[in-house]
Structure 1
Amino acid sequence: MNDKQTRHELQAYRASLLHFTDDPAHAEHAHRWHEDGLLIVGDGRIVAAGDYAQLQSTLPPHTPLHEHRGKIILPGFIDTHIHYPQTDIIASPAPGLLSWLETYTFPAEHRFDDAEHAREVADFFLDELMRCGTTTAMVYCTVHPASVEAFFNASEARNLRMVAGKVMMDRNCPESLRDDAESSARDSEALIRKWHKRGRQLYAITPRFAATSSTLQLQLAGELARAHPDTFIQTHVAENTDEVAWVKSLFPAARSYLDVYDRHGLMRERAMYAHCIWLDDEDRARMAHTGTAAAVCPTSNLFLGSGLFDFARADAARMPLSLGTDVGGGTSFSMLRTMNEAYKVARMGGTHLSALRIFYLATLGGARSMRLEGTIGSFAIGAEADFIMLDPKATPLLARRAAQADSLEELLFAFALLGDERMVAATHVAGRLRHALRAGAPA
């Protein structure tokens, strides 16, 4: 332990600990489980994580020790696809994706040129994420720069590790939400220069989807990506068959929907593509080759009837995978509820997702997909101390089922299938308690 970390700077937490070092689908011994564990944090970072019996003697005298035996501490959840301006239209009925966009999404996003409205929604949105145990997300704003400013200001005030960007959309949308290719690129560039790597804030170049961007806009987005190679890219691809057909009609020379983006330099590491349902094997191979990641969004795919993500083919190609709630098409901010739906979607496609794999996808899998391994998503020494505490007795049914679990896999499976935001007893951000389920809950 570093001598500079005094007893006043350190905090220690005793509980069961779980985190991952690899993908359980592709590696043995990919997780670390300490039934009686100790997590030590200092200056907002992980100092040590392991067995209590081995680590407790390393604590300087009088280090605060928070006792939470019976609960499980794991890294904060990472949501790799979510729209904060759609918070207020969650659970809005529609027969499919395109009609849902026209009826609910675009009218709601129109309001985000109002900075006060944007800030109020951003505040609620971020607090709701923390209530659900999510400490990092890849977030879509709207076409309005004010929506990005409001979001980053709210995130910075909470010291969250967030990725967000201004939507780029210059055609096939309401006039009130339409930018133009050049101004969109200029606005994005200015936001990158102001917010990317400012504290814990990171920027994502964000063309909404190919159908709402002209060739020029996609070209300029690609130029931004080349000029700022450590920024993120986020967009949608192959979510819905009608959408796929529409994009084909708009870009007839492209081999596939994904190829539209590839032709414009938008496939690389730190690029996150939501949905990826209607890809072919050539697309999947291209994603793996370029390090482009998929954000699997099972709740919204089921809600909008878009289709089922093919885990078997994605894994065969070794595509980087993560999980996204996709609020407001998704019906919950909770990554635990999203795990539930991911398991069922996989089963419908003939794949069994282990509980360990599902928790990996929601933590280290997200960090790896974002190329932030070592920064978030695990208890690696020096990683940022974003962590949550899960209560196996959060509900009577969960407590009863957990008491019967004969293995860690069985216990985690019960969490994924029966758990929700009520399980999240506490959320810590950079070592500080930011959410506690009950007033007066210990830190």
Structure 2
Amino acid sequence: MLRGRNVSCGDVFSPREVGVRNGRIVAIEPLGAGLRGREVVELADDEFLLPGLVDTHVHINEPGRTEWEGFASATRAAAAGGVTTVLDMPLNSIPATVNVPALEYKRLFARDNVFVDVGFWGGAVPGNKAHLRELHDEGVFGFKCFLLHSGVDEFPHLEADEMEEDLAEIKTFDSLLIVHAEDSRAIDRAPHPEGDVYANFLKSRPRGAENLAIAEVIERTRWTGARSHILHLSSSDALSMLATAKRDGLDITVETCPHYLTLLAEEVPNGATAFKCCPPVREVANRELLWEGLLDGTIDFIVSDHSPSTLDLKDLGNGDFGVAWGGVSSLQLGLSLIWTEARRRGIGLERVVEWMATRPARRAGLRSKGKLALGYDADLVVFAPDDAFVVDARKLHHKNPITPYQGKALSGKVRKTYLRGTVVDFNSPRGRLIRRGEQ
């Protein structure tokens, strides 16, 4: 039993006692109700009890590129950041998760090596349409595709007509297509991003490329009646057409990431390839509009897009944005990053919980995750919003010590994380491999 003055209760925090039995929440009563338990946890006055966060966009990369990240290191980082459920992307592991044997192979590496619960996305690539239903039946949460080169040759991208075919296919079994939406033709015609000047890299991934691809996703979703989701939105230009699509009744959702909500193109130093990601971090005016999109509901939730690599792939010696791998490592830092920025804007912690736990769980179909409620998994986070710390990449659980947030002062510390009522100790991996519909 846990009791404290600041327990998440939907859109408010209230004094509550929370009873846990067999990994589930079985009682929530006002503080002072006198619930009893074999173990009683008294929260300090400065501690808030949150539901475990749900991060539906994580690249763990094992097997095949385990030197970039792995199940043990990634899930330790997740737990340290208050994330108790992650969904792993079908790349950059080798093989990519584009058929059932590849999924089973990946599960072999994950089993007994995860500190939080882990589920899997399948991949939608040219030629694997016949495998989509089989992957769905094996429990993937949906399918990811790219509309331009993915960055790795073993996961080729779809053309818009191929994406439409896959949307029509997955509609027959009510799955979800999640899309990296940048237009390949627009990127091909943009300037090459060579050199250490960030402004040149930014020109190589223009907003127009994102806008074109998102327009394609919207219309193909409209024509097929399928369910779709826009990954890592960085272009605020696309907000108006996404809002219109939602008003029209399309089943489409949108995510963005901490780097687009906290970093600024104007502040990226030359050669600082830790900041490189695709689509890119954009200008201050764009960032402000993304926050408006979150507040008005056009953007549904926030996830990390944790996309790590080895230090050498970041080309730290030369700082060439045209050569460096594009990806930001932030799985452990997301809650503190977003809370720091939200607090500065006068946004309450309850909204952060909604964006980083409740809504991603709902879209992925995780019925027992993302809320502190009766019958839900007792995935809980003890969070001290007034604590502060300075980011030190060497102290993070991520396998490779690089982050664009190095030296950044943040508010809010995760003091303890519970997975189904048991404290994560970072030594004993008690996470489970989860399947769609089984939670």
Normalised to the residue count of structure 2, the TM-score between the two structures is: 0.63
Counterparts in 2 of 1:434 and 1:217: CA distance versus 1, 3 Å = farther
Give runs of aligned pairs for residues 282-361 of structure 1, distance below 5 A.
Answer: 282-287=241-246, 289-299=249-259, 302=263, 303-304=275-276, 305-307=280-282, 308-309=286-287, 310-311=289-290, 314=293, 318-319=297-298, 321-328=300-307, 329-333=327-331, 334-340=333-339, 343=342, 353-361=347-355
Give runs of aligned pairs for residues 40-189 of structure 1, distance below 5 A.
Answer: 40-56=19-35, 59=36, 63-70=38-45, 71-85=47-61, 114=64, 117=66, 121-142=70-91, 144-145=96-97, 148-149=103-104, 151-153=106-108, 157=112, 158=114, 160-169=116-125, 181-182=126-127, 184-189=128-133
Which residue identity does 1:222 align to in structure 2?
A: L
RMSD over equivalenced CA pairs, Å? 4.0
Counterparts in 2 of 1:224 and 1:55: CA distance versus 1, 3 Å = farther
Q: Is the 8 A contact 1:210 1:260 kept in 2?
A: no
How far off its partner does 1:153 sit? 4.7
Cross-structure match for 1:204 = 142
Q: Is the 8 A contact 1:139 1:162 kept in 2?
A: yes
Counterparts in 2 of 1:204 and 1:68: CA distance versus 1, 3 Å = same
Q: Is the 8 A contact 2:142 2:178 kept in 1?
A: yes
Find the aligned partners of 2:39 and 2:211 in 1 and give their Cα distance.
Answer: 60
Which residue identity does 1:206 align to in structure 2?
A: K
Q: Is the 8 A contact 1:274 1:297 kept in 2?
A: yes
Counterparts in 2 of 1:380 and 1:352: CA distance versus 1, 3 Å = same
Q: Is the 8 A contact 1:376 1:386 kept in 2?
A: yes
Secondary structure, aligned partner of 1:64? coil
Cross-structure match for 1:426 = 416
Cross-structure match for 2:357 = 363
Q: Deviations over 1:98-149 (max 9, x none)?
A: xxxxxxxxxxxxxx674x9499712321222112210123431226237644
How far off its partner does 1:215 sit? 3.8
Find the aligned partners of 2:49 and 2:347 in 1 and give their Cα distance.
Answer: 22
Q: Is the 8 A contact 2:85 2:116 kept in 1?
A: yes
Match for 1:379 among 372, 383, 389?
A: 372
Find the aligned partners of 1:73 and 1:219 in 2 and give their Cα distance.
Answer: 43
Cross-structure match for 2:170 = 225
Counterparts in 2 of 1:292 and 1:248: CA distance versus 1, 3 Å = closer
Secondary structure, aligned partner of 1:274? coil
Q: Deviations over 1:315-358 (max 9, x none)?
A: 686435111112223342122243057549xx8xxx76444322
Q: Mean alpha-carbon deviation: is it higher for 275-284 or for 128-137? A: 275-284
How far off its partner does 1:426 sit? 2.1
Secondary structure, aligned partner of 2:162? helix
Q: Is the 8 A contact 1:133 1:388 kept in 2?
A: yes
How far off its partner does 1:160 sit? 4.7
Count of residue pairs the alignment pairs up: 337
Match for 1:33 among 14, 27, 33?
A: 14
Which residue identity does 1:362 align to in structure 2?
A: M
Q: Is the 8 A contact 1:298 1:325 kept in 2?
A: yes
Cross-structure match for 2:3 = 14
Match for 2:232 among 274, 297, 318?
A: 274
How far off its partner does 1:248 sit? 7.9
Q: Mean alpha-carbon deviation: is it higher for 309-318 or for 139-148? A: 309-318
How far off its partner does 1:76 sit? 0.6
| Counterpart check, 1:235 vs 2:216 | no
Find the aligned partners of 1:64 and 1:139 in 2 and give their Cα distance.
Answer: 33
Find the aligned partners of 1:267 and 1:435 in 2 and give their Cα distance.
Answer: 41
How far off its partner does 1:257 sit? 4.1
Q: Deviations over 1:198-240 (max 9, x none)?
A: xxxx4221113366212453134213421321x3432223698
Q: Is the 8 A contact 1:14 1:67 kept in 2?
A: yes
Counterparts in 2 of 1:164 and 1:208: CA distance versus 1, 3 Å = farther
Find the aligned partners of 1:65 and 1:275 in 2 and give their Cα distance.
Answer: 42
How many percent of aligned residue pairs carry the same amino acid? 14
Find the aligned partners of 1:306 and 1:257 in 2 and give their Cα distance.
Answer: 22
Which has the higher relative contact order, 1 or 2, with Cα contacts under 8 A spaced 6 or more apart? 2
How far off its partner does 1:261 sit? 4.4
Counterparts in 2 of 1:74 and 1:44: CA distance versus 1, 3 Å = same
How far off its partner does 1:263 sit? 5.4
Which residue identity does 1:165 align to in structure 2?
A: W
How far off its partner does 1:424 sit? 2.1
Which residue identity does 1:431 align to in structure 2?
A: G
Q: Is the 8 A contact 1:273 1:294 kept in 2?
A: yes
Which residue identity does 1:207 align to in structure 2?
A: C
| Counterpart check, 1:389 vs 2:382 | yes
Which residue identity does 2:410 align to in structure 1?
A: L
Counterparts in 2 of 1:77 and 1:266: CA distance versus 1, 3 Å = farther
Consecutive unaligned residues in structure 2, runs of 5 or more: 150-156, 184-201, 264-274, 308-326, 391-407, 428-439
Find the aligned partners of 1:431 and 1:207 in 2 and give their Cα distance.
Answer: 36
Which residue identity does 2:422 align to in structure 1?
A: R
Find the aligned partners of 1:203 and 1:151 in 2 and give their Cα distance.
Answer: 15
Find the aligned partners of 1:393 and 1:228 in 2 and give their Cα distance.
Answer: 46
Counterparts in 2 of 1:188 and 1:84: CA distance versus 1, 3 Å = farther
Counterparts in 2 of 1:156 and 1:385: CA distance versus 1, 3 Å = farther
